[in-house]
Structure formats: structure tokens, C-alpha cells
Structure 1
Amino acid sequence: MSTSADPLAALASLPGVAESVDSMRKAVDRVYGHRVMRRRSAEITSEAALRGARGSAALSGADWALEEVRRRTDFGAEAEARTVGAALRMTAEAGQLLSIWRQSPLRVLARLHLVAAGGAAGAADGQAAGAAVGDTVGRPRLAGEPVDEPLVELPLPDAGEVAGRLDGLSRLLLAGSKAPALVTAAVVHGELLALRPFGTYNGLVARTAERIVLIGSGLDPKAICPPEVGHAELGRAAYVAALDGYASGTPEGMAAWIAHCGRAVELGVRESTAVCEALQRGAA
């Protein structure tokens, strides 16, 4: 497949992207080679899911301490709690959606939004199911429907543009690409944030979709490298600035966004490496 027929591969050739991919790949390989992973990988996966959900919720305005997220059982009391609950449910759901993603990414996005809004069977709390607003949950927004995503201040595409670009993204993913997983994950993440296709929870959906691409690609099959941790650690201002680069469509902006996402994965790796070290010492 030529780069002209493979836009994602063309992005992989932008200046600096290969270096970001290589640095991230080496970091991932190191944590997978940790001796603790041979015996206790399930514990690392579980902890990475918890920390990833916490990081994603923090970027959406619910910046809770990790131990608070770990301790709480009721996530329907107020807006921040609902955001944390949504992030936890989506992270738990992500691993179950890999086969569907390969066949229909749009179905997975709809499912993620349904889970975020608490409309899924077996939602973590009963009250959250009531947060679903009419028939707007689990489908892209229609003309005139509002969007609640205060972190992203980019111009909001209209519903027609959203539908067209979602269809284009789906076709791109289904066609396959020779591009590294980081490039594909960054484009999925950036495009969903730029479009904000749903009325709520777009940031959570976009970051979970990034996670699904990284897991499903084989880069992070055990889901132990949570990029959400890194995005939160890098901070909301850097996140928004990098997203502006993606939305600009310039080679420099796109490369900067991909590099930002790569750095986020590396920081997620660092977090899981620290968990491995703690388990090795018997401290966690």
C-alpha cells in the first residue's frame, strides 16, 4: 500500500514521528520485559485500568486522588463522581470491544458513549442510568443538539460534517494501514476530540478509543501502558495545545500531536513500571 493510498502511513513519515514511535516502543518493550510481568501481569493490568480511568476523568474535570477512586463505590452523587464512574466503566468495557472494533469502529464508539452515560446493563450505579438524556445517548449528535465538553474550545463541526468525518475515519480504520499503532491511535483520539460527536463524554470516549487501538494493534496486548495517565500528567494546557496542532492539519501540528500521544504512553509505562517495582518489593 503506498502512502498516497495510506494517509496514516504518510503521517508516520512526518519529521520527528519515527523518533517518537521508536522511543515509545522501547519503553513498552522494557515494561513487558519486567520480571514481575511473568507472574503477576493480571495485577498490573487491573492497576493500569484504574490509573488510566483516574487520569482520563482528571482531564474531564474530575481530578480525584487515586485512593479516592479506589475507595469509592457510589459514582452517581454529583457531576465529578459521574465522570469518574463513567471513566471506570469505559475502561472496564474497552477490552471486550476489540473484535467489534475491527469490524465496526462506529458501533464501538456508540457503545462507549452508552456505557459512559450509564445506559449499559450492569452499570456501576443505578442513578447513573438516569443521567441518559432521552435518545441522545449512544448516537452522534443531530443538528442543533448541544455539546458539553468544556476542555475543548475548538470550533464545533456541524452534525453533517461530523457524520461525514466519522464515516471517513471508520473507512480509514477498516482499510488497514502500515502506520505504527501510535499514529493510528493518535489520529483516532485527535479526530474524536475535534469532532465531539456526542453531546457528552467526548473526551472520555476519545481517550478510551486511543486505548483500544493500542491494545488491539498488539502494541500493548495486556493493557498495561495507560496513555490516559500520561495525558493527565502532561497537563490540560499541554493537551489542549497539542490538540490545536492536530486540528490545524499542518505537518508540524500533526507531528506535535502524535509526539504528545507518544509521550503520554511513555508516562503510562513509567507508572506501570513503578507498580511492578512496588510489587517486586512487596509494597503493593
Structure 2
Amino acid sequence: MSAVDPLQPLLQLGDVAALAAEAVSAIAAVHRRPVSLRRADVTGSESVLRGARTSALIEDPSARDLAEPVGVLGASISVSSMLAPDSLQASARVFSRAPLQVLSRMSVLAGGGGRPEGAPERLQQLALLISQGAHDVLLPQVVHAELLAHEPFGERSGLIARAAARLSAVTSGLDPRGLAVPEPYLLRHRDDYLAAAAAWRQGSAVEFLELSLRSWAAGAEEAEAIARAL
């Protein structure tokens, strides 16, 4: 994290500081579980798969009827391949120093052309924030919000935003093994989630930050369920 953290002021908004602390504590507890230490590849794989399927449902609720990984479900699973345990650390290393390269790759995996379609200045600012380092808990939320709200990769931006948020959580240290599954919470609160993204686009950050941090705390509970099933 940089000496002067540009995201620090966001902790003063609403319940952001308390929710950030709750998310950190919940995710850290999951990482301390013996099964998470011994079999992170198994728990991580299940986390990525659940996240990918749920991300597709957030994008298009009719995807629940898909039996095969095609359409939005196929795109989501392809993007999430960069988060699989055998790829995660390599993806994280590149993302931390060349985030635009990873985002472009996600765009291609989602069926896009790999080039941004809009908001170039915001995307460059976001890339700088990622590469310079910023608040360990807030960076994934800001990455998520910026990509979702300003849609630099067009209609694929939602899938990319959720995958990039997960990758940011790995690089920032919030979720270093990628075990949490925040997507089910976002699906359950889909209308509020989309409204919070719209509020972010209009300049209000608190709605998205609070909802997104709640999703990470709930995502730790989802990871606990995965661990208990093993």
C-alpha cells in the first residue's frame, strides 16, 4: 500500500470502516481453517466455480436454465479461469504490475476484442491505482465499482468487474488464496447492487462500498460452507 493512500478517506463514509473490519475478520478466519491451509486448491476451485456461475446469473438470470457452459455462463467461466488455483498467483503477479493487460485478457475470454470501449481516462487512473498499491480492503471494491459502473469493456464489463474484484482481493491481501465467494450475496441483492453501481456512476460511493463489503463478509460464510463440506 502506498504511503499516502488515496482510498483512505472512503473509510469515513457511512458504515464503511466497520464493514471493512468485519470483512477482514471473516475472511481471515476462513484462511486459518486447517482445510483451507491443507486443501486450498480444492476449496479455491469450488469458490471460483460457484462465483463464475453466480456471476453469470447476476448478468442474466435466465442463465440458470443453461445446462452447458455457453453464452454468458460460458463467458463467465472462461473469465474465471484466470482465478483458478493453478493460474491465480500468476494472474495476480501480472495484475499488480500491468492491470490493463489482465483486464484486456479477461475481455477476450469473455468474447470481446480485448480493447476498452469507453472511459479511457478512468481506466488509466484505475490501472495506476492498482499498480501503485492502495488500501487492502477498499481496492477490490473500487476496482469492482469502476469497471461495473463505467463499463469500459461494454456489455462484458460486469463479468470482468466481478472477476477483477476477486483478483484485486488476492493482490491486496484481503483474500490471498481466493477462497471467499461474494457473488451469491450480490445475486440475492441484485437490484440494490445495480442501483449502487448507478449511484457510483453519479458520484456517490457509499452505497456501493457498503453493499460490496457486506458481500465479502457473506462470501466468507460461503467459503466456510465449502470448507465444512470437505
**3-state SS, counterpart of residue 139 of structure 1:** coil
- For structure 1, which runs of at least 5 residues remain unmatched after alignment? 76-80, 118-131, 142-158, 280-284
The structure having more radius of gyration, on CA atoms, is 1
| C-alpha spacing 1:83/1:64, structure 2 compared with 1 (3 Å) | closer
Q: CA RMSD in A?
A: 2.0
Q: Is the 8 A contact 2:150 2:201 kept in 1?
A: no
Q: Which residue in 2 is equivalent to 1:91?
A: 80
| C-alpha spacing 1:64/1:164, structure 2 compared with 1 (3 Å) | closer
Q: Which residue in 2 is equivalent to 1:215?
A: 170
**CA deviation profile, 1:76-133 (whole Å, cap 9, x unmatched):** xxxxx3111111111111324211111111111111000111xxxxxxxxxxxxxx6x
Q: Which residue in 2 is equivalent to 1:140?
A: 116
**Percent identity between the two aligned chains:** 32
What is the deviation of 1:31?
1.4
- For structure 2, which runs of at least 5 residues remain unmatched after alignment? none
Q: Which residue in 2 is equivalent to 1:204?
A: 159
What is the deviation of 1:64?
4.8
Give the distance between the partners of 1:171 and 1:27, measured in 2 at CA.
Answer: 29
Match among 103, 110, 117 for residue 104 of structure 2: 110
What is the deviation of 1:2?
6.9
TM-score by length of 2: 0.88
Q: Which residue in 1 is equivalent to 2:191?
A: 237
**Partner letter of residue 216 of structure 1?**
T
What is the deviation of 1:189?
0.9
**Partner letter of residue 116 of structure 1?**
A
**CA deviation profile, 1:206-258 (whole Å, cap 9, x unmatched):** 1111011001112211111022232123x2201112213322323xxx12211
User: Is 1:269 the equivalent of 2:216?
Assistant: no
Q: Which residue in 2 is equivalent to 1:260?
A: 211
Relative to total residues, which structure has the larger helix share, 1 or 2?
Answer: 2
| C-alpha spacing 1:63/1:45, structure 2 compared with 1 (3 Å) | farther
TM-score by length of 1: 0.73
Moved more, 54-63 or 184-193: 54-63
Give the distance between the partners of 1:206 and 1:236, measured in 2 at CA.
Answer: 15
